[in-house]
Amino acid sequence: MQEKPKQDKQPQENQTQENHAWSGRFNEPVAELVKRYTASVEFDQRLALFDIQGSLAHAQMLAACNIISAQDLTDIRHGLGKIENEVLSGEFVWSVDLEDVHLNIEKRLTTLVGDAGKRLHTGRSRNDQVATDVRLYLRHAIDELTLLIGSLQTALVDLAALHTQTIMPGFTHLQVAQPVSFGHHLMAYYEMLKRDAERLRDCRKRVNRLPLGAAALAGTSYPIKREYVAELLNFEGVCENSLDAVSDRDFAIEFNAAAALIMTHLSRLSEELILWMSPRFGFIDIADRFCTGSSIMPQKKNPDVPELVRGKTGRVTGNLVALLTLMKGQPLAYNKDNQEDKEPLFDTVDTLIMTLRIYADMMGGITVKPEAMRNAALQGYATATDLADYLVKKGLPFRDAHEAVALAVRYAEQRGCDLADLKLDELQLFSKLVSDDIYAVLTLEGSLAARNHIGGTAPQQVEAAIARARKLLANKA
Ligand code: ARG
């Protein structure tokens, strides 16, 4: 978190009653409350380093196009270098009077280097400047998030690799359905995160376009070279319509949609961790460092981290709705509404970074209880489908097999035993096609091994999935 602006300790000339960047045409100063209401510096100061990066590229282009002198460029570089150090060391004093990050930096630059600082804004507006800053910020955030997703995937794959033969009940409707391996179950989340990383990579392409040069909305009358600035800032190209360039926030919305989906995936895993850790399941234990106790019930160990992840999904989805609502019905081009894009975006990035970091660690600290998983899989007739498939393979139509097995399940239920506990002559009550090779089919291991095709839960297939995942992860690292 960045510091709040230090309003009490104002520096040299940053202390202004008026915002001289635009107050020339005004007859009276802006009301104090309005000043605070319209200022964004409290939150947009975190864009400072990206603002400086953008300004350096803009100035270099201005000099290359002979719009400012080489000396001006030297002065601007020198001044911005100093400001960068001040920002990094926390010495830079932010002033609400100067409204936002852009005007704070510009004012300080002018204080430091004089007229060259005043020339920096030639051919540029804060409208294309802020859009550029946000894109630079988001591109950086996406790169960090992509790495963090990779770490979480690695943690999942590592745990899955230990459990390709650990059998648990697979559920549908939260009722025991068919046995699966715990490794197979974990690899489902690997796949979700793989799509999440793909979405971020795709979104990055549209983030990575340069608005600068659009100026306020219509372009600029100076002989600028936008492609040159794009190249200097490693953008893949320029935004091709100036009105769109200053008003577009699609990239932020897209990003937040991808982020909401990541959180949604993690909320599902969280819900499962919470269920599995409950003594009713007792499938896993989460390391103490991710849990907390109760102030009244001494026996409690609560899965706070997964619960909070589940909860924080709401705020990230809320941020998406905020951004969509912010843009709805906005006429072209830039409107001050757009200033409201930052807090939801920053909050989403912060939430996601922390969540992914903590999650990768937490998955590494999970204790698995294979016995409890196995016992649960033995209840609920998880191999009933295998019995039906067995009868089909012996020639019975599937619907008839389904019916025969349903009756066998009812029979076993009345006796309080599993299908595998029924004697051969008992099973034959439901179909003459049953012979003693049925018992291999009714075991949990047999059920898993039978699903031996790509995407299936057979240990061999899960091992292959893990190998494919490791290869992809290694390529990205
Ligand atoms: N602080 C503003 C924002 O975040 C910068 C752009 C302001 N432009 C303007 N014409 N008032 O959107």
Supply the pLDDT for residue 304: 94
The residue nearest atom 12 of ligand 1, judged by CA position, is: 339
Segment 5-17 mean pLDDT: 44
Report d(CA 322, CA 84) in Å as an integer. 32
Q: HSE on the CB side for 364, CA within 13 Å?
A: 12
Residue type, position 389, single letter: D
Share of the chain above pLDDT 90, in %: 90
- 182-207 and 459-476 helices, crossing angle to 10°: 30
Nearest to 239 by CA among 204, 208, 196: 208
Q: pLDDT (tens digit, 9 = 90+) per residue, 199-225?
A: 999 999 999 999 999 999 999 999 999
Separation of CA 10 and ligand 1 centre (Å): 23
Residues whose beta carbon lies within 6 Å of some atom of ligand 1: 40, 44, 100, 126-127, 130, 334, 336, 338-339
If one residue of 40, 47, 126 were mutated to test the ligand 1 pocket, choosing by the most ligand atoms within 8 A of its CB, it would be: 126
Q: pLDDT (tens digit, 9 = 90+) per residue, 449-464?
A: 999 999 999 999 999 9
Which positions ≥6 away from 378 have C-beta within 8 Å? Answer: 418, 444
How would residue 368 be classed by pLDDT, with cut points 50, 70 and 90?
very high
Separation of CA 11 and ligand 1 centre (Å): 23
262 has pLDDT over 90: yes
68 has pLDDT over 80: yes
If one residue of 100, 104, 326, 332 were mutated to test the ligand 1 pocket, choosing by the most ligand atoms within 8 A of its CB, it would be: 100
In the chain, residues under CATH classification 1.20.200.10 are 127-375
Number of residues that this document lists for the chain: 477
Share of the chain above pLDDT 70, in %: 96
* Cβ atoms 171, 373 nearer than 8 A: no
22 has pLDDT over 90: no
Supply the pLDDT for residue 9: 40
CATH class of 127-375: mainly alpha
Supply the pLDDT for residue 29: 87
Burial class from Cβ neighbours inside 10 Å (0-12, 13-18, 19+) for residue 399 reads: exposed
* Cβ atoms 92, 86 nearer than 8 A: yes
Q: Where are the alpha helices (DSSP H) in 365-458?
A: 370-378, 384-393, 398-415, 424-427, 438-441, 444-450
In the chain, residues under CATH classification 1.10.40.30 are 380-476
CA distances from residue 368 to 72, 188, 282 in whole angstroms, order as listed = 64, 17, 9
Segment 257-280 mean pLDDT: 97
Q: What φ, ψ does residue 119 adopt, rounded to 5°?
A: -85, -15
Supply the pLDDT for residue 165: 98
Work out which ligand 1 atom sits closest to the CA atom of 44: 4
Supply the pLDDT for residue 17: 52
Segment 419-443 mean pLDDT: 94
How would residue 18 be classed by pLDDT, with cut points 50, 70 and 90?
low
The residue nearest atom 2 of ligand 1, judged by CA position, is: 339
12 has pLDDT over 50: no
Work out which ligand 1 atom sits closest to the CA atom of 100: 1
Q: Which has more pLDDT, 301 or 424?
A: 424
The DSSP H or E segment spanning 147 is helix 126-161
Work out which ligand 1 atom sits closest to the CA atom of 101: 1
The residue nearest atom 11 of ligand 1, judged by CA position, is: 336
CATH number for region 380-476: 1.10.40.30
118 has pLDDT over 90: yes
The residue nearest atom 4 of ligand 1, judged by CA position, is: 339
Q: Which has more pLDDT, 122 or 11?
A: 122
Residue in 89, 173, 221, 295 annotated catalytic = 173
Q: pLDDT (tens digit, 9 = 90+) per residue, 133-190?
A: 999 999 999 999 999 999 999 999 999 999 999 999 999 999 999 999 999 999 999 9
If one residue of 336, 342, 343, 346 were mutated to test the ligand 1 pocket, choosing by the most ligand atoms within 8 A of its CB, it would be: 336
Supply the pLDDT for residue 297: 83
Supply the pLDDT for residue 292: 83
Average pLDDT value for the chain: 94
Work out which ligand 1 atom sits closest to the CA atom of 99: 1
Q: Does domain 31-122 sit in CATH 1.10.275.10?
A: yes
How would residue 13 be classed by pLDDT, with cut points 50, 70 and 90?
very low
Q: Respond yes or no: is residue 173 known to be catalytic.
A: yes
Q: Which two tokens stand for residue 21?
A: 């960047």
In the chain, residues under CATH classification 1.10.275.10 are 31-122
